[in-house]
Amino acid sequence: MSENAILAALPRQGAGTGPARALRREGRVPAIVYGGSKEPEKVSVEDRRLRWLMGRGGFTATLLDLEIEGSGRERVIPKEVQRHPVTDRPLHVDFMRVSAASELNVRVPVSLLGQDDCVGLRAGGTLAVAQYDVEVVCRADSIPEALEVDIAELEIGSGVRLSEIVLPEGVRPAGDDDPLIVSISAPAGGLDDEDEVEEGEEEGQEGEEEGGEEPAAD
């Protein structure tokens, strides 16, 4: 496992809209740390560093070492990010304290393999991704970066469900559902019908060639 990313944090005083806006003007994002045997702690983190971590993908499935000034380091996982409805910038983050052995429900991104060799796509089919991430249960120190799904052998009309994915050791689905992850659908233009018409025309032409011209009547 790679080392956890470090995110520096400062304690913050007060609550409400006014103090939160003041922090954001200073380039910081209000946050709270909760869970474990400790009381919740109000902190703030640097906006630029936070957005960089979020831009890497899978943020809510990423373990972080939160370095809180004056309190030490806390191992956390982001549980919720409130965003601005227009700019999409982070407005507030909830961090949950975890230990290496903590069992968590996390959403892990899906990584598709074999698209260039996919039988259905090469035949003119269309890729339809139903789930870009999947909720799984695993230990905090065993969160996979992504779940790999090989679609090279998929034909038009076929797909892959969660139960068909080989999950890493110690990782299991979060529920009893078996959602469709990805499928290959027929193109909207109906190439299959066109192919049948072309085949029928070719068969008719062959029949005419074999039969030759109709003999003239005596």
- Most confident region among 84-88, 141-145, 180-184, 213-217 by mean pLDDT: 180-184
Pairwise CA distance, residues 110 & 97, whole Å: 25
CA distance 44 to 32: 8
Contact 174, 132 (CB under 8 A): no
What is the CATH superfamily name and number for domain 105-192? Ribosomal protein L25, C-terminal domain (2.170.120.20)
What pLDDT, on the 0 to 100 scale, is given for residue 198? Answer: 44
pLDDT tens for each residue of 41-60: 999 999 999 999 999 888 98
* CATH homologous superfamily of 5-98: Ribosomal Protein L25; Chain P (2.40.240.10)
Give DSSP secondary structure letters for 76-97: EEEEEEEE-TTT--EEEEEEEE
Residue type, 159: G
pTM metric for this prediction: 0.69
**pLDDT per position as a tens digit, 164-204:** 999 999 999 998 999 999 999 998 766 554 444 444 444 45
Shared fold status for 5-98 and 105-192: no
Neighbours of 99 (CB within 10 A): 11
Instruction: Give yes or no for a contact between 99 and 136, defined as CB atoms under 8 angstroms apart.
Output: no
Question: Domain ranges in the chain?
Answer: 5-98, 105-192
Distance, in Å, from the CA atom of 65 to the CA atom of 100, rounded to the nearest integer, reads 12
